Chains A and B, each alone.
Chain A
Amino acid sequence: MAANPHIAARRRRNVLLYVASAVILVVWAFPILWAVLVSLKSETEVLAYPPRAIFEPTLRNYVDALVGGFSILKSFTTSFIISTATTVLTILFAVPAAYAFARLRLPGKRTIGFYTLVTQMIPPVGLVIPYFLILNRIGWLDTYQGMVTVFLTFSLPFAIWLMVSYMEDIPKEMEEAAFLDKANRFQALWHIILPQVRGGIAVTVIFVFLNAWNEFLFAVQLGGNKVRPVTVAMYNFVSVEQTLWAKLAAAALIAMLPMIVIGIAAQKQIVKGLTVGAVKGGGRR
């Protein structure tokens, strides 16, 4: 029986696709896989050359990173408080702002929108010193409110613009129908718009939380001994005398954990959220 050339071609293409995906995945995941391996070794094992594939795994590093002398638990909590506060406040402000940009007739709306976005174009490193000076002047260095306020200046413009695109996707008529049904603006936003941008809110929450959690540059400059996020705290394993690679790896993996959990939980929402509006009529959100 002669093979169908179309099926053969498609099969070849599929094989190529899988090989390419596998290569990319390995490159992408290598640092994480390496960190997992390192975190399970003893500090001496880490430095063995050539690196050994077979060794006796130990959870010692995790115990040390959590409850040992360099415990990151406190920083972990700090990061969690900062990220959560940033995310909650961002959504609280960004949703009404995005609604206003998407729907209200405001004088200078385009200009305001543009300058909201412009703040994203300034290289962060140029802002570190000004922010430091400002926080220092008002006594907010090494405080939660200082850190969260600075984080909001990055997350808000981003979140507003992300939410605007989701809100603009909702037909105006749907809201007009609500107005005719005697809903006021707030009720229309609450009952009609918000339930339909749930996916968008989920995506925004994840991005904002992720950015706040990963933030290092500002955290290291504006934090201190009281407010020290986990990204900064991890540097305790790196010192002039030595670098505790295994403990650093364990700490890094622990720090990744919340993001991985949120990522998996919200995966469906993200994919849905990112593809909404790709097709006319878009389907249900």
Chain B
Amino acid sequence: MSGEEGRVSLKGIRKKFGSFEALKGIDLQIGPREFFALLGPSGSGKSTTLRVIAGLEPPDDGTMTVDGVDVTYASPGERNIAMVFQSYALYPHMTLAENIGFPLKMDKVPKAEIPGLVRAAAEKVKIDHLLERRPGQLSGGQQQRCALARAIVRQPRLFLLDEPLSNLDAQLRLETRIELKRLHSGMDVTTIYVTHDQEEAMTIADRMAIFRDGEIIQIGTPDEVFNRPDNMDVAGFIGSPPMNLLPATLSDGGVLVSRRRVADAAGYEASASDVVLGIRPSHLRLASDGLPARLLLSENLGESMLLNVEVDGEIVKVRLPEVRHLKLGEELHLAFDPEHIHLFDPTTRRRIDRARGQHQL
């Protein structure tokens, strides 16, 4: 496959199911060979978007192009797309070899060439010893590999994955994640990956689009969405646990939480004095002086610790880099570096940025 193929563009894609607006105008540009994740909670529109890309769901409005060619209403077969379904959708009455060979048979590949191609695809995902079995005789992980093999057996222009790991157990999920990444780099095919697991998206994707209620609320690299969330919804979704969001006020050139000045407000272009302060659990630390907090629950994660504390009626999560023995109900003080805070407008829910040139104190 040559270098610049597999550029996908969606413009103003809308889709209604009855009165339910599943997609409210999706705009997306996905580059060649990119590993792109569609991330969001269930019902947010990510799967519908993937189905529109696959041609399984015609949009009500908007256009989709692949490499500049309009394919908005092209049939799935015309798009040269391979897809792995969440349920794998293996054909239960066929052997693995027949399953993997099915796209080749439909594509009228000469009969003599099929077994070799099937074997090669099966070898890539290490199921070549199971080719004579039927899907019902395989474990979940093996079925998943078979679905992958069926997708990679021909040279698709786009590779779509719909929650491919969600039916696997935790251990296998981690292994398969790495393998998917390896497969992708070996194939050089634009890959679009739907998941509700933000950790999965963060670790596997080059870029991602975060969905909420039929809209994309941010597009960016894992770095960007983690370190510079565009709005409170992204901030409250990315990270495990996600960012703490606390009510705060701007006054006298300072950011106040629980009437305590926690940062310099100079340069923030806020329109109102009420704001929301975001701070990652890992950026909080225990100190002798700082925000007063009371310990509600502590979770020992082995090499780190997750605390649930109460600050002025709000639950705040704190990740400590080491395990400490703390008593429930203990009074603590929380401190953080002002440079780690994010400010959001509580009405628009959007990020409040600092004016240029004033990024550091």
Contacts and interface: CB of A to CB of B under 8 A. Distances in A.
Interface stretch (B100-108, B184-192, B343-351): B100-108
Interface in A158-216: 171, 173-174, 176-184, 187, 191-192, 195-196
A177 B85 contact: yes
Interface in B26-74: 54-56
A181 B89 contact: no
A180 B54 contact: yes
The 4 closest A-B pairs by CB, nearest first: A181-B103, A177-B89, A182-B77, A173-B89
Given A196-B92, A284-B136, A182 B107 contact: yes
A178 B99 CA distance: 10
A285 B92 contact: yes
A179 B56 contact: yes
B165 interface: no
Interface string B133-160: 0101000000000000010000000000
B82 interface: yes
A283 interface: yes
B82 A180 contact: yes
Nearest to B102: A181
Contacts of B93: 195-196, 284-285
A249 to B, nearest CB: 44
Given A173-B85, A176-B56, A181 B150 contact: yes
Nearest to A174: B89
Contacts of B83: 177, 180
Contacts of A184: 77
Interface of B: 54-56, 75-77, 81-83, 85, 87, 89-93, 102-103, 106-107, 134, 136, 150
Of the four ranges (under 10, 10 to 19, 20 to 34, 35 or more), the interface on chain A belongs to 20 to 34
Contacts of B56: 176, 179-180
Given A171-B87, A181-B103, A182-B77, 10 more contacts: A174-B91, A178-B102, A180-B54, A180-B83, A181-B107, A182-B106, A182-B107, A183-B106, A187-B106, A283-B136
Interface in A229-263: none
Nearest to B80: A182
Given A173-B85, A174-B89, A179 B102 contact: no
Contact of A176 (B76, B102, B150): B76
Given A179-B56, A182-B103, A187-B106, A173 B92 contact: no
A176 B89 contact: yes
B112 to A, nearest CB: 19
A177 B103 CA distance: 9
Given A284-B136, A285-B92, A191 B102 contact: yes
A192 B76 CA distance: 16
A154 B222 CA distance: 63
B75 A179 contact: yes
Contacts of B87: 171, 173
A180 B92 contact: no
Contact of B91 (A176, A187, A192): A192
Nearest to A177: B89
Contacts of B82: 180
A223 B24 CA distance: 64
A191 B94 CA distance: 10
Contacts of A196: 92-93
Given A171-B89, A173-B87, A285-B92, A181 B106 contact: yes
